[in-house]
Structure 1
């Protein structure tokens, strides 16, 4: 497979923003069809949101306290979404948010009749975060919000968050327009069983689109929120179709049957779709997903440090450059290099880069008592970003006598199995709020170990195992927790770097690459914004419109 330069790749990517004049003729039907991934969804409850397609759909339904400027990934200049303004007191221990007035929840549903939806108030904000933190509810994101000690309602539109320690990134992470920070209706939520995930009839937010219909294994349909507090969208309908098969999704896009497509991080796919459908726009934008190989240190022989080092030394990052080409950026630490607090390559000891060295890998296996190798197994998603990586690992480890069995399942099943701790090794790609805390908390804090009630994506069991063989449990919890409290950016960065160095010293994982997002849209899709990036695998649609075609 040939390797394209990033310059060539970007030369045919058209970032058009408001690409048509305001006088352009609109299509009679303002409906957009998204060709998405996954075969189905389990929930639209934002507190239990862990899968890509759920995130995409909820991105349109819910609102958050803060957000990036529309159509960007400008993390440095966040602005209010539901928040009119906010202030920070007591060195970052107290955050006071003033809410916008006149924001109403979706109506015309099973909970609120037409015109009877309540106004969003500080009571709803307080309830949302209390439910998120409640151990009886069991949200997998609860650990991320442990910094919230209590909340005080100042008045109908003002809420105060009291943190148990200073937290400089609270406004960006805990209230941001991504994952679990959505504000839900207290009235609607109290009509359901406390411990249940939300049924679809309770999917009620304040976002630009509202839930309309769910057809199992086929689609989710959203309709325009006529009372959206930022102004009703032009689009009347958003239809998210479950299209897990790449070939079917691609052909539907080329034929014009879908308006936007969840693309593939593959330069060959990009080249081919441009050749077959040259009027389409292919956007390659941040935020990229960091791809990391995690070792399950709770199983033998991966509990052995020498074995993990051997496996890491057998894997050549250059191989992935040949596969993913221009949609790939090398990653050498467990936090993507563009994130605040990421350990940079030039600051890493040479031995922690784990450059490819088969002879050294074989010698380490022999020293560990596995000169004849061993067998490990893992489930894999059929998506190229996973399957191709697992195949490369299989070939690499074969060269040092290790047999790696791959069991292919659909992507939804893959996510379920890795979170159920069924893999010996886990390849996982993820983009998060671009600060080291988001990665370290979700993948490396002991509370995030898979299988725990607070578990997230700590696939390695780091924090519950002896990683270096000295008879003591190894953890980076102290670095993560101290960094959250630290106001001084330099000290905070040092704590994050120490956590990353320790994890790499213990070979708990091997960082592989960052893959940037690839999305496609038809020429008749006008986003109404200079599109520069997205946290979710989808386009911003608040200002979008469908042109006559």
Structure 2
């Protein structure tokens, strides 16, 4: 074995020090400018449902548990470990010590209880400012299945459920359940959505509504400080304009890439392409409260009338597959035995005639005003659907609104038909089927008692094989009732400058950026 002298050791140490310093110089500092298709709706994650808001709030807040980067596997976050009782009804979480909110107040069990009580109790004095939609979705209303939240000691909190919930832990990792500073919520009240205070890697610096959100690194983050000094989320609604800004260097990365730009990115010396793992669905929904969409024959006719593959070829650069179910094949429990509605305009006409609409009818078709991962070009795809329906004698009038208004109106069932989509939050079928189509949650007036019974039983069942059987059955019911035309499951492309390092896209549609850095 060769002997290392003291002089040699010193030389090696100096070289190693220079190497480490060089690496850290590349990793630490700088501003990342993220170009996106729409503005944030709000910065209180429990009050919003849109991905543009979650892109930002995920940087400001932490949840009790998190997802391992690039997956939906649960790992510790503000809770270091946990256990569940034998009956599955009591969950005990041991919290991370020494964590502070951005305003300097301590994170502890009291803060966790206060947040969950605020969300679940409608008579809580700070259950204000929004509808707390995600809490209702995931925990079955208010107070829902979380019957008690108890402080065991300063860093131990206990959740008592009224019934078992198989995806409970995965649900807690979802972005909407970021823990806020109770004192900040009390201070700002209904304006808290503009003044967020969490424990996350970044702190809000400024929100110029309609333009940009500026975040700065949290110097007291409980993890290692973020590599970036700042993140700027810029709102640039037009895909082509956003891509031009990426090419010119005024932004560093973008989502909502137009299909025609994918090849240019792949051939560029200064840009690179990252593909988000597919866990989404884009769909065209029909509201049962509006005639003639209360007739299943009309809904099935629309399913036969739209050529999904042609839409994918035209608007997705091949980075999508036709959808036949409301959840993607990447989710366990997917029912691949279902036969899709084939593209068959003549069959669609026959169904319309059976329903008494052989001469067609006229209706409003709402299309997405901003690019989304599952529907990157809402207006063009809306025009394509309009054209397909005209071939079966149906006239669709295209309608849209600004993004916030669009979400509000569709959520309140004001649209006869509309385009929307969903990116899975936690990798569980419940997050698609129950959230989107159960009668207690549905925003398209689809109410099926049969489906509801199946989905609720699946939530209470801890046996994975039994849950698979139930979700297979649920997809059969949905397919027969045809409340949607499921359009696509996309693999969304993200374009980045070559200097953007260590970006790991998550299948949930948003990810923390505290480990991204800019190389020289």
- Counterpart pick for 1:96 among 92, 98, 108: 92
Moved more, 410-419 or 244-253: 410-419
- Counterpart pick for 1:187 among 175, 183, 188: 183
Structure 1 alignment gaps of length 5 or more:
1-19, 108-116, 449-457, 464-472
Q: What is aligned with 1:363?
A: 350
- Counterpart pick for 1:163 among 161, 164, 167: 161
What's the secondary structure of 1:387's corresponding residue? helix
**2:225 pairs with 1:232:** yes
CA distance in 1, matches of 2:357, 2:147: 49
Q: What is aligned with 1:423?
A: 415
Q: What is aligned with 2:36?
A: 36
- Counterpart pick for 1:545 among 514, 517, 520: 517
CA distance in 1, matches of 2:135, 2:345: 42
Q: What is aligned with 1:305?
A: 296
Q: What is aligned with 1:50?
A: 49
What's the secondary structure of 1:191's corresponding residue? helix
Q: Map 1:224-373; keep pairs closer than 5 Å.
A: 224-264=217-257, 266-275=258-267, 277-323=268-314, 324-344=316-336, 347-348=337-338, 350=339, 353-373=340-360
What is the CA-CA distance between 1:28 and the residue it aligns to?
9.1
Q: What is aligned with 2:148?
A: 150
TM-score of the superposed pair, with normalisation by structure 1: 0.83
Q: What is aligned with 1:443?
A: 436
Q: What is aligned with 1:377?
A: 364
Deviation track 1:384-426 (CA, whole Å, cap 9, x = no partner) reads 4422332221111111111111124444443333224232212
What is the CA-CA distance between 1:261 and the residue it aligns to?
1.1
**2:185 pairs with 1:198:** no
Deviation track 1:235-288 (CA, whole Å, cap 9, x = no partner) reads 111111111122221111001111111232x4322113444x432111012143
8 Å CA contact 2:309–2:321 kept in 1: the answer is: no
8 Å CA contact 1:165–1:484 kept in 2: the answer is: no
Q: What is aligned with 2:122?
A: 135
**2:477 pairs with 1:462:** no
What's the secondary structure of 2:210's corresponding residue? coil
CA distance in 2, matches of 1:236, 1:518: 26
- Counterpart pick for 2:506 among 533, 540, 543: 533
Q: What is aligned with 1:396?
A: 388
What is the CA-CA distance between 1:322 and the residue it aligns to?
1.5
What is the CA-CA distance between 1:524 and the residue it aligns to?
1.8
CA distance in 2, matches of 1:443, 1:135: 23
8 Å CA contact 1:417–1:423 kept in 2: the answer is: yes
Sort the Cα spacing of 1:313 and 1:536 in 2 relative to 1 into closer, same or farther, 3 A: closer
Moved more, 509-518 or 364-373: 509-518
- Counterpart pick for 1:213 among 191, 206, 209: 206
8 Å CA contact 1:66–1:79 kept in 2: the answer is: yes
Deviation track 1:322-347 (CA, whole Å, cap 9, x = no partner) reads 12242102321111121122222xx2
What is the CA-CA distance between 1:95 and the residue it aligns to?
1.2
**2:508 pairs with 1:517:** no
Deviation track 1:449-491 (CA, whole Å, cap 9, x = no partner) reads xxxxxxxxx232112xxxxxxxxx6452222211111011121
8 Å CA contact 1:135–1:142 kept in 2: the answer is: no
Tell me the number of residue pairs that the alignment of Structure 1 and Structure 2 aligns: 483
8 Å CA contact 1:517–1:537 kept in 2: the answer is: no
Sort the Cα spacing of 1:390 and 1:263 in 2 relative to 1 into closer, same or farther, 3 A: closer
| Structure with greater Cα Rg | 2
Structure 2 alignment gaps of length 5 or more:
1-18
**2:390 pairs with 1:406:** no
TM-score of the superposed pair, with normalisation by structure 2: 0.88
CA distance in 2, matches of 1:294, 1:272: 34
Q: What is aligned with 2:461?
A: 486
8 Å CA contact 1:445–1:475 kept in 2: the answer is: no
Deviation track 1:288-340 (CA, whole Å, cap 9, x = no partner) reads 32112211111001111111111111122222231224210232111112112
What is the CA-CA distance between 1:61 and the residue it aligns to?
0.3
